Structure 1
Amino acid sequence: MSGSLLEQTRSLHQEIEKVSSKSSSLYGEDYPSFEETVMKQHRIARMIKNAQESSKKLSSIYKDKDKIRKMELEMMSSENVFNVFYEKLVDIKNFHRITSEEEQKKMFTNLLNQKGYEKVKKEMEQKKEEEEEQKEVEQDLKVAKLFSGPETFGQFIDLYSFYNAFINLNLLKLEIQKIDNPIDISQRKRKTIQNNSIERGKEKEKEKEKEQQDEQQMMEKENENENKKENENEINMKKEKENENENENEIKEENNEDQVKNENDKEKEEDNKKEENKKEKTNNKKKNNDNKKPINQKANEMPSNKLLDYLSYLKIFQQFEGFQKRFQNKLYPKYLANLYNYLINFIERSRPLFNIAKLKQVIETEFNKDLTHHKFDDLFRDQEETILYQNPLYCKYCKKLFTNKNVFKHHAKGKRHLIGVKNWESYMHKEYESRKEILKLEYFIKKVCIVLAKTLQKSIENIQRKQTLTYYEITRELRNLKKIESKEYLLQLRNEKNEKNEKKEEFDDEDDEAIKNPKNVPLDYDNRPIQYWMYKLHGLSVTYKCEICGGASYRGRKAFQDHFQKWKHSYGMKCLGIPNTEHFHEITSIDEAKNLYEKLKNKINNQKFSPDENEEFEDSSGTILPKKTYELMKKQQLL
C-alpha cells in the first residue's frame, strides 16, 4: 500500500507464505492425465520463481546498504510520532486516488451495514479469483504451445529434424542392394549357399597360410639366436670396444626387424591381391541377383544410411562409437550442439522442477575425470590398431610389432623410442584439444539420455504403435491434440476440477454430521450402519476375542474362523514359537496353545525309535531278549 520499507517487507513475507501454501497444496494433488501434471509442474515452477524474486528483494532490504530501513525504524521510535503518522496518512490517500472511484463508493456506502460490506468483499474476492484463473489459463496455453505435435506435452521426444540432419551427414556406410524380381527367391538362396561354401574355402586357405607364416617365424627366431651367440663371443674377446659394438648391434637388430617386416608386408600384399581378384569374380556374379540388407543387423554393425529409418535412429543416435569418420565431418559438431540443446530444452519444458544446473556440474566433473584417466584414447585408433594394442610386444609410440621380449626391452631404451614417446604425447595433446568439444558433447548427450531413458522407450513404443494405426485413427489422434491445445479445453478442465472440489466439500460436510447408531451395528462401505436383519442373520451380535492376535475381537463366526489363516494370527503364533497348523485352530488363549504344543512334542518323541528300549536280541537257544537284559547276561556269562 505505502512506499515504506517496513510495509514492503510485510507484503513480501506474506507473498512467500501464500506461495509456499499454494505450491504444497498443488504438489499434493494427483491428476489423471499427463498434460495436467505437466501444467501443474509449470505452475509450481512459476510460484517458486516468484518466491525467489521476493526473497531476493527481502535480502536486499535486510542488508540495508542505503540505510533507509534504519532511518525508518529510528523515525518510528522517535518522539515525533504524530509527524510520522501524518506522513503515512498522506501515502494512504495517494494510494486511494490511484484506485477506481466505483470500488471506493461501494466500500464506503456499505461500511455501516456489515452484511452489505461482506457481500461487496466477497464479490471483490470472486473477481480476483476469476482474474487469477484467466491468467493461469493463458499461462497454460503458453505451456501447451511450448511442445510440438509429436511431443504431446513432453510425453515423447521429437527428433525428426535431427534424423534428417544425421542422414545428410553421410556418416554410415552407403552399402545398399536392390531387389529386381521378387520371383528369384530360390535362385538367391542357391547363390547364398554357394557364397557360404566359397567363404569356408577361403577360411581354410587362410589357416594354411597362417601355419606357413608361423613356421617361417620359428626359422627366423633360430637364426636370430645363432647370431646372438656369435655376437656374445665377439664381445668377450674385445672388451675395449664394448660401446661401439653395442651401437652396431642395435643398428643390426633394427635392420633385421625392418627386413622381416618388409618380407611380411610383401606376403600380405600378395595375399590381398589374390583375395581382391576372388572378390571381383564373385561380385560380378552377384550383380544380377542382389538382395536388400536387413535392418535387424548385429549390435556392433550399423545399418546403411538409406536403410536407416526414424525408429532405428532413435535406438542408435546415442551410440557414437559406431559412426565412421565423424571427426572429419565439419557439420558434425553443429549437429551435436543442436541435439544437446534440444535435449536440455526438452527436460526444462517437460520437467520444470528438475535441477538441470546440478546435472551439468556432475556430468562435467565426470568428463574431466575420464579425460585425466585417458579413457578416450580408444576413439583415436582404428580397428587394426586396437587389436595390436592388446599385444604386449607392440610399441604404440613407434608403431612397431616385435617378435621377442629381449628385443622389445632393448628397443625401449633406445633414442628413437624416446623421440617417438615425445612425438606421440604432443600428437595426442593436439588431437585432444581439437576433438575435446566433440567428445564433451557426445559424453553430455549420453548422460542426458540416461535421464531420459523412460521417455525414449515410450517414444519408440509410440512409433511402433503408430505404424499399426489406420488413417482414421491417426486423424482422430490429431483432432484430440488440437482440442488439448485450445483455450476451451483448459477452461473445461478447470471447471471440472472446481466441481470435484465442491462435491468433496459437500461429502465431507455430510460425513461430519453425527451418524445415529444406537445398537452399535457395523458400518457399510458408505460409512452407514447396515440393516438390523442382516446383522442378526450373519450372527454379528456375537463377538470372539483372540489373545494370540493381541486381544483383537471378531464379529461373527465366519470372520472368527477366517482369521486363523490370516497374517495377524500367524504372526502371533510365530512370536510364541509355535507352527500355525490345523491342530491349533479354534484355540485363542496363549496358555492352551503352549500346553497343546508340549503334548504334541511329547507324543512325537514317544513314537520315535529308541535303541535301548525297542532293540531286541536272540540267544543261542532262540529266546528273544531286550537290549539291556541281553548285555547284562552277556557280562555275567550266563549266555
Structure 2
Amino acid sequence: MNNLIERQRGLHEEIERLEQAIVDQFMQDPKTHRDRLRNEHVVDKFLTRISDKSIDLNNLYEDKDGLRQSEIETLSASTEFSEFYERLRVIKDHHRKYPNEPVELPEMEFIHMNQIHGNGEDGEEDELEKKFSGEESYGRYLDMNSLHGKYINLKDVKKLEYLQYLSDFDDFANAYPKSMKTSPEYKEYLNDLSEYLYSFFRRAKPLFDLAELEEKVRQELDEKWEKGQLVGWEEIGNEMLDPELYCQACQKQFTKKTVYDAHLTGKKHRKNAEKLNNEQSTTKGDSENNTKQDRRKELAWKELLITKYAEGLSDVREETKANVERKQALTDKERTLEQDLEEIELAEQDSDDDEEDRIYNPLKLPLGWDGKPIPYWLYKLHGLGVEYPCEICGNYVYMGRKAFDKHFQEWRHAHGMRCLGIPNTRHFHEITKIDDAFSLYGKLKKENAQEDFVPDSMEEYEDDEGNVFNRKTYEDLRRQGII
C-alpha cells in the first residue's frame, strides 16, 4: 500500500536495518589494511543511506502539504471501518493479481550486502583499486607529484625537491612569497591542492567527519581574520582593523598616519581622487574594497583548510616521506623487483582469504569452538563415529557415547516416555527399545505390589533412650516391663 503512515514505518524499519548492518560490519575482524579500508567504505555507504532516509522521514513528519494529517483524520473518523475494508480490498486485489509473487525478508537485503562487501565480490575489489593510484597504495601514501610540478611552475617560489616539498607544502608563511599570492596561478594551485587532500581524505579515511573539520576551520578563520592574527595575513587584518589608513582613490593601504597624510598632498592622489569623484561614487568604492577583502579572505580560507588537512594526515605524510626516501635509494632494477613482489604478495593474500573462506573437511568432522573441524584423534577418542539409535526417541541416532548418555534426560527422550505412559526414572536408563521399556515397567509394578504395608513390621516406635523398634517388638517389650 502506498500511504504516508506505511511509508514512515518502512523508513523507520530500513534505518534500523542499516544500523544493524553497520554493527555487523564493525563486528568483522579485518586482518589487513585493505580489508579495514573496504569495511570503512561499506559503513560510509550505509551512513549516507541512513542520512538520505532520515531526511525523507523528517519531511514526512513535517507534513508541509498536510497529507499525513488528512490521512490520520480519515483513519480516526466515523468511516474508519469502511476505510479499513477499502485498504484490505486493495491488498487482496494485489495478491489476486500476483498470486505467486515471492516475498523476501527486509533484512536479507543488508545481509546480502554485508556478504558481498565482506568477500570483495561483484567488483568491489576493482572499485577499491580504482579509487587509488599505484603510488598511493590503497591510501598508505600521498601522491603529490603533479602538485609538486605545479608548485615548481609558480613564480618566485623556492625550487624544492619532492621530499622537501612534502614537508613544506603547507608552510604558507615561508614557502610562498607574498608577492605571488594575488596571481591566478597561485589561486588555481591552492584549489588543486585542497581538492586533492579532500579527495584523499574521502578515499583513505571515509568515516572522518570533514564537515565538522571545515566548520571549525571557518570559525577559526573568522576569529583570527578580525583580530589580524592569521599567519601570513597579519597586514590584511590590520587593514580591516584600521580602514582610515586605506586610500580608496589609489587603492592602497598605509601603515602610518604620517605617511597617509603626506600621500594626500601628492599630485597622483589628487588626480585619482578627482577621477574617483567624477566616475565613481563612494558606495561603489566601498563595494570594490569589500570585494578585494573577500578575495583575500577566500585565499586565507584555502590556506588554513589545507593546513588542517595536513595535520589530519600527519601519519600518512610521515609514511609517505619515509617511502619516498627509501625509493630514492633504490636502483631501477630494485624498484622493478619490488613492484613484482608487491603483486605476488597481493595475489597470495587473495588466495589466503579464499582458503580461509573454504573449510577443508573431507571426513565431515564436527566443528569446534573456532569454527574449524576438530582433530581426527579427538574425534576417535570421544567415539563420535559410533552410532547409538534410540527407538523411544523415534529411531533418532546419537553420535558418540557422551551424547547418548546425555539424551536420557533431554526433552526428546522424556517426550517419548510420556507418550508410552511410562515415568522417565533412573530405572529406565540405557533402555532404548519400546518392548524392553514396557517389560521393565511391568516388572517394577509387580515388585511394588508385593511390598504391601504391614503395620506390625513396618511401623517404628522409639523408647525414652532413643532406641527404635518395630510395632510388634515394642509392644512385647512394654508388656514385659522392660521398657
TM-score bracket, shorter-length normalisation: 0.5 to 0.7
Change (3 A) 1:508 1:315: closer
Q: Which amino acid aligns with 1:88?
A: L
Kindly provide the amino acid, as one letter, of the partner of residue 163 in structure 1: H
Q: Does the 8 A contact of 2:139 with 2:203 survive in 1? A: yes
- Identify if the C-alpha distance between structure 1 residues 159 and 509 changes in structure 2 by more than 3 Å, giving closer, same or farther: closer
Distance 1:7 1:326, change over 3 A: same
Gaps of 5+ in 1: 108-120, 174-304, 382-394, 401-413, 511-639
C-alpha change, 1:161 and 1:128, in structure 2 (3 Å) is closer
CA distance in 1, matches of 2:344, 2:8: 44
| TM-aligned CA distance change 1:334 to 1:46, over 3 Å | same
Q: Secondary structure at the match of 2:16?
A: helix
Q: How do 1:265-344 residues align onto structure 2 when only pairs under 5 Å count?
A: 305=159, 308-322=160-174, 323-324=176-177, 325-327=179-181, 329-344=183-198
Structure 1 residue 366 corresponds to structure 2 residue 351: no
Moved more, 363-372 or 335-344: 363-372
For 1:345, the equivalent position in structure 2 comes to 199
Relative to structure 1, the CA distance from residue 127 to residue 73 in structure 2 (aligned partners, 3 Å threshold; closer, same or farther) is closer
Give the one of 167, 184, 190 matched to 2:152: 167
- Residue among 146, 152, 155 paired with 2:140: 155
Match of 1:397 in 2: 256
How far is the alpha carbon of 1:416 from its aligned partner?
A: 4.6
CA contact (8 A) 1:75 1:81 kept: no
Query: What TM-score, normalized to structure 1?
Result: 0.43
Distance 1:432 1:74 in 2: 56
Q: Is the 8 A contact 1:398 1:417 kept in 2?
A: no
Post-superposition shift, 1:125? 9.3
Secondary structure of the residue that 1:459 maps to in structure 2?
A: helix
Equivalence map 1:604-619=2 (5 Å): none
Question: Compared with structure 1, are the counterparts of its residues 57 and 339 closer, same or farther at alpha carbon in structure 2 (3 Å cutoff)?
Answer: same
Task: Give 3-state SS (helix, strand or coil) of 1:171's partner.
Answer: coil
| Structure 2 CA distance for aligned equivalents of residues 55 and 320 of structure 1 | 41
Matched, 1:30 2:15: no
Structure of greater relative contact order (alpha carbons < 8 Å, 6+ residues apart): 1
Contact 1:150 1:156 (8 Å CA) reproduced: yes
Q: 1:349 to 1:377 in 2, by over 3 A?
A: closer
* TM-superposed deviation, 1:363: 1.0
1:34 corresponds to which letter in structure 2? H
Q: Does the 8 Å CA contact 2:21/2:110 hold for their aligned counterparts?
A: no
Shift in alpha-carbon separation, 1:128–1:455, aligned structure 2, 3 A: closer
Please tell me whether the aligned partners of residues 75 and 83 of structure 2 are also in contact (alpha carbons under 8 angstroms).
no
Residues in 1 aligned to 2:369 and 2:289: alpha-carbon distance in whole angstroms: 73
Distance 1:142 1:79, change over 3 A: same
Q: 1:330 and 1:73, CA in 2 relative to 1: closer, same or farther beyond 3 A?
A: closer
Structure 1 residue aligned with 2:418? none
Residue 63 of structure 2 aligns with an amino acid whose one-letter code is: D
Match of 2:210 in 1: 356
How far did 1:70 drift?
Answer: 3.9
Question: How far does residue 495 in structure 1 lie from its aligned partner after superposition?
Answer: 7.4
* CA distance in structure 2 between the partners assigned to 1:97 and 1:480 by the alignment: 60
Q: Relative to 1, partners in 2 of residues 1:485 and 1:85: Cα closer, same or farther, differing over 3 Å? A: farther
What does 1:514-529 correspond to in 2, within 5 Å? none
1:456 to 317, 324, 333: 317
Counterpart position of 2:90: 90
Q: What SS does the aligned partner of 1:334 have? A: helix
Tell me the distance in 1 between the aligned counterparts of 2:210 and 2:265.
46
Partner of 1:18: 17
Cα distance in structure 2, aligned partners of 1:379 and 1:6: 56
Say whether the 8 Å CA contact 2:40–2:207 is kept in structure 1. yes
Q: How far is the alpha carbon of 1:132 from its aligned partner?
A: 6.4
SS of residue in 1 equivalent to 2:143? coil
Change (3 A) 1:489 1:82: farther
What is the CA-CA distance between 1:155 and the residue it aligns to? Answer: 1.4
* Number of aligned residues: 325
Residues 57-80 of structure 1, C-alpha deviation per residue, up to 9 Å, x if partnerless?
A: 222223333444344445545555
Provide the rounded CA distance (Å) in 1 between the counterparts of 2:231 and 2:24.
52
Q: How is 1:6-85 mapped onto 2 (pairs within 5 angstroms)? A: 6-77=5-76, 78=78, 81=81, 84-85=84-85
Tell me the distance in 1 between the aligned counterparts of 2:197 and 2:366. 41
User: 2:430 is matched with which residue?
Assistant: none
Q: Tell me the distance in 1 between the aligned counterparts of 2:115 and 2:25.
A: 14
Moved more, 428-437 or 164-173: 428-437
Alpha-carbon offset, residue 339 of structure 1: 0.3
1:222-261 superposed matches below 5 A: none
User: Quick one: distance in 2 between partners of 1:29 and 1:127?
Assistant: 18
Distance in 2, Cα, partners of 1:166 & 1:45: 33
Given that 1:151 and 1:157 are in contact with CA atoms closer than 8 Å, whether structure 2 keeps it comes out as: yes
Separation in 2, partners of 1:127, 1:359: 34
1:507 alignment partner, SS class: coil
Name the SS of the counterpart of 2:173 in structure 1: helix
Q: Distance in 1 between matches of 2:45 and 2:352?
A: 22
Amino acid at match of 1:20: E
Pairs within 5 Å for 1:69-148: 69-77=68-76, 78=78, 81=81, 84-91=84-91, 93-94=93-94, 97=97, 101=100, 133-134=115-116, 137=121, 138-148=123-133
Task: Flag the 1:498–1:31 CA change in 2: closer, same or farther, 3 A.
Answer: farther
- Residue 3 of structure 1 aligns with an amino acid whose one-letter code is N
- d(CA) in 2 for partners of 1:347 and 1:489? 26
CA-based RMSD: 4.5
1:156–1:458 CA contact under 8 A, matched in 2: yes
1:124-156 Cα offsets, whole Å, 9 max, x none, are 998995576447743453233111111122111
The one-character-per-residue Cα deviations of 1:458-514 (angstroms, maximum 9, x if unpaired) are: 11011122223454553455457668999x9879747746869xx99841689xxxx
Following superposition, the deviation at residue 436 of structure 1 comes to 3.2
| Structure 1 Cα separation of the partners of residues 64 and 115 of structure 2 | 39
Counterpart of 1:452 in structure 2: which amino acid? Answer: L
Structure 1 position 331, deviation (Å): 0.9
Q: How does 1:187-202 map to 2 (within 5 A)?
A: none
CA distances 1:57-105 after superposition (whole Å, capped 9, x unpaired): 2222233334443444455455553663353343354367568x5x65x
Deviates more, 1:64-73 or 1:346-355: 64-73
Q: Which of 328, 334, 338 is the aligned partner of 1:467?
A: 328
| Equivalent in 416, 423, 442 of residue 303 of structure 2 | 442
Q: What secondary structure sits across from 1:375 in the alignment?
A: coil
